[in-house]
Structure 1
Amino acid sequence: MPGRNMDAEQNTGLSIREELVATKFAQGMTYREIGETLFISPATVRTHLSAIYQKLGVHNKLALANLLAVGRMEDTAKSIPNGLTHKNSGPPIVAVLPFDNLGSDERLAHLAECLSADIIADLARYPDLAVIARLTMLTFKGRCEDLRSIGRELNADYLLEGSLQATSRQVRISVQLVDACTGADLWSARYERPAADMFAIQDSVTENIINALAGCCGKLAHIQRNIVRRKPPGSLGGYDYHLLGVEQLNMYSRTSNAEAIRLLSRAIELDPAFARAWLELGFAYAVQGSNGYADDTAMSLANFSCCANKSFALDPGDGLARQAAGDLRACDGDFDGAIEENTLALAAAPNDGDTLALVAGSRALAAGDPEAGYLLINRALCINALAPSWYFSMLGRVTFVLGRYRECIAAFRRAPDMPSTLMFRAMAHALLGEDEDAAKLTRRLASECPKYTAEHFIAGYPVTNPPAMASIRHGAKRARLV
């Protein structure tokens, strides 16, 4: 159960997906609503609930809700150092309060309702967040209690609140994330938009908020990692190891990559049904193979394939899992299937910068139109003000395939400093006729990773799109990286 302690985890054995289903069912959501939120069928929801009842020894919704509440109260009673509260292993529970309209304009009242609804819907797409249903949150419209009281009533870890006010020309939207236990402000933002197009305001502000809070580099993940670091090592659960593993994965060095594989392997050892941990472990193996961090590139690719397939089988509604499935279909020569999977990935997470960035890379290197990938990665950078450095790797790869070498070099200067980055920079300089700059990067690559070649990247990423393979091999030849 989200927010459970380690003893409860050992006693119940619920997977994270089962925890989410249990929490949402206990909150009053129907099978259909749960399915729409988690992107699974009502029949799958029913199967999960059958397993949940058996594991917890309960027989109806009321008993399940009471058990969840008792577990939550027991966990909340246990504190951790430095006044931090949300110490339990499992996805944080987020409640989005109805936004307040501080003016009298009815259009603004409608925008306030739509904003909170859209934020709930988009946050719910993330499998590592538990988001309280919109119907539940509507009961809090107009209520003015202390936020900590609301947090206790909802058993929430975090509350997101917002307000709108406007002049004849401008709409101002203020948003803040609050610790539900202490009432402390954790993050805030203010968005000012021209008042002419309410739909455009709704879309752009929702995208900005979602990408600031969710995802591997969002504010919520950052807060949770800081909490995990203050926990005794013996109390860490699968979700905790996943958080720490993703952090190491995003450092992209040989040492951090090995540590990411260790931590993420531990996460799935503790929770074999943790779909996102399987996926991130697969990504770690892909980074390992495409950067020459392992002697056997074929084994790295096989490990990526195994982990990605496991993740997809556990949670086919995860947009990132579908993107990985698309890459694997491209490896099998099924380019139409790869494009279809990436299209489904975008449909599952249309406002998620991470998904947009990864699909952009796939459009260029695996299957599809690199020009479409260029539009996707630029959109990802536009909607995610906290864009991690690997977004620029994707931009660099896409622009290289498109022959925009100057833009490619600029992008890779902001990307993680790893062998594939040095390779692309060297190739781009060589293709621009800047042989001295290319030679410096080639010598550095040979010194730091002497056995690394462009074929490591092609085999390990993997690269299957014919234009990409041709451009990389041509660039490698010009930069003398073969």
Structure 2
Amino acid sequence: MLRAVSNPLTSLSDRERVVAAKFAQGMTYREIGETLFIAPTTVRTHLSAIYRKLDIRNKVALASLLADQHEQDTGQAPSGDLSVEGSGPTVVAVLPFDNLSADEPWNRLADGLSAVDLARYPDLAVIARQTMLSYKGRRDDVRSIGRELNADYLLEGTLQAAAQQLRICVQLVDARTGVDLWTVRYDRSAEDLFAMQDMVTENVVNVLASCCGKLAKLRRDVVRRKHPASLRAYDYYLLGVEQHNFYTHASNAEAVRLLTRAIELDPGLARAWTVLGLAHAVAAINAFTNKPSVAKERWKLCLERALALDAGDTHARICLAELRALQGDLDATAREHDLALAAAPHDADTLALLAGGKAFVTGDPQEGYELANRAIRLNPHVSWYYSMLGRSSFVVGLHRECLTAFSQAPPDSPATLLFQAMAHAMLGETPQAIKIANRLAREFPDISAEGFIGSYPVTNPPAIAAIREGARRAGLA
């Protein structure tokens, strides 16, 4: 992080300080111009002067400098969205990939691979690609580059070609220590360069930046080392997401507590509202509450609040559309599904959510099955994706594949047990079905097939028929 012995902001004019603060908070040139009644070109001129006077290169560095100075002056962290270590989105820099081959044409492929679109994830702050191009060919120590960029992590990679075979290596490095945190290698044929490039970049994006990705786990490790009194809204959000993804009664209650605390501290944190809504959904679907109607209403209110703050949140939009399917407007739900897929066709989290919607709510269950498989190909490390694959497999009649998928899903979720019992019954494996059904009756007496249908909501006729038949054969009707 940039640190200063004295206040470097004294070199700025009053107008420059206002422009700097608004730009660091995420406002565009046009928005700043409208607020201050000046032209966007004038805003750009002010920013050029600000960068020169403060000896910085980008918005991330500006935000960090302003946040540090605020903390030095007041002893408190800023209340806005300035990115300071441990309080705001993780800052990632993607370095231009190195071409280790002698042939010049491979440079274009290396440049394409380095266009890793982490910026589409709202939980990350990604330094602009234009800024990163200036680092092409530099051989500085990664820690010095990290300091220049005020980045938490650097993503770097290499490309090596031999005949028509390519080897691509990607590394995630801690920008402060220089330690390699994650490495992956791809050996691929060069026959279809564009398809290979897309596959590699999308896989890297999803493994690193999904809700359960490597960067989220690293960030949570930092948060857990903090004293509870120093936790901030974003910290509570990260911990809440982790608990939400365990899908147990206790973890879901803890997720609701943590996420509620996050929005108390920052009511404008849209992602926290979305996941809180999903936690209330999990409570209703899995009979974790004896007031499912209350949970559904909270689910709906949270998603509406999330979309009011961020209309581009595909997760909130998918789930709210599915709730409205209960009101009978399946055409509107289908349109929202199509819009979400068009907006985020390579986002594994979105694809997995849509898989459940296509299988259970409206659309073709076979398409839901294919979407779940696509999500897992993009990121095979997320357990709830396998829940969606298992559910959609059950609806399309692939009962053995359903059981295989659920073997990698959250094991103690009532919904997991429900589908495992039904799949065994459909395969004629009665002893296994009875054993799981007995566990459900013992540990989760309020869960039922009809309750699942009413809460998900399941409105797709093939899904309703499949679940009712499976429940009948498993003795769960």
TM-score band, normalised by shorter chain: 0.7 to 0.9
TM-score, length-scaled by structure 2: 0.84
The percentage of counterpart residues that share the same residue type is: 56
Gaps of 5+ in 2: 4-19, 52-58, 76-83
Structure 2 CA distance for aligned equivalents of residues 146 and 437 of structure 1: 57
Encode CA deviations 1:219-278: one digit per residue, 9 max, x unaligned. Answer: 100110000011111111111001101111111111111000000111111111111111
The one-letter amino acid of 1:46's match is E
Match of 2:96 among 95, 98, 105: 98
C-alpha displacement of 1:211: 1.6
Q: 1:354-369 maps to which residues of 2 (within 5 A)?
A: 354-369=349-364
The 8 Å contact of residues 253 and 418 in structure 1, kept in 2 or not, is answered as yes
Structure 1 CA distance for aligned equivalents of residues 129 and 271 of structure 2: 24
The 8 Å contact of residues 87 and 231 in structure 1, kept in 2 or not, is answered as no
Residue of structure 2 in register with 1:407 after alignment: 401
Q: 1:9-408 maps to which residues of 2 (within 5 A)?
A: 22-23=23-24, 46=31, 50=35, 61=47, 68-71=63-66, 73=68, 87-117=85-115, 119=116, 122-386=117-381, 388-408=382-402
TM-score, length-scaled by structure 1: 0.84
Structure with bigger RCO (C-alpha 8 Å, 6+ apart): 1
Closer, same or farther: CA 366–75 of 1 in aligned 2, 3 Å: farther
Structure 2 CA distance for aligned equivalents of residues 266 and 462 of structure 1: 28
Closer, same or farther: CA 48–426 of 1 in aligned 2, 3 Å: farther
Structure 2 CA distance for aligned equivalents of residues 196 and 318 of structure 1: 36
Q: State the superposition RMSD in angstroms.
A: 2.9
Secondary structure at 2:287 match in 1 = coil
The 8 Å contact of residues 25 and 63 in structure 2, kept in 1 or not, is answered as no
C-alpha displacement of 1:343: 2.0
C-alpha displacement of 1:69: 4.3
Structure 2 CA distance for aligned equivalents of residues 21 and 370 of structure 1: 47
The 8 Å contact of residues 312 and 325 in structure 1, kept in 2 or not, is answered as no
Secondary structure at 2:216 match in 1 = helix
C-alpha displacement of 1:20: 12
C-alpha displacement of 1:75: 9.3
Structure 2 CA distance for aligned equivalents of residues 125 and 24 of structure 1: 18
Closer, same or farther: CA 69–128 of 1 in aligned 2, 3 Å: closer
C-alpha displacement of 1:408: 1.4
* Bigger mean CA offset, 336-345 vs 247-256: 336-345
Secondary structure at 1:106 match in 2 = coil
The one-letter amino acid of 2:91's match is I
The one-letter amino acid of 1:251's match is F
The one-letter amino acid of 2:331's match is D
The 8 Å contact of residues 339 and 367 in structure 1, kept in 2 or not, is answered as yes
The 8 Å contact of residues 24 and 62 in structure 2, kept in 1 or not, is answered as no
Closer, same or farther: CA 413–187 of 1 in aligned 2, 3 Å: closer
Gaps of 5+ in 1: 4-18, 32-44, 79-85
The 8 Å contact of residues 87 and 227 in structure 1, kept in 2 or not, is answered as no
* Bigger mean CA offset, 257-266 vs 421-430: 421-430
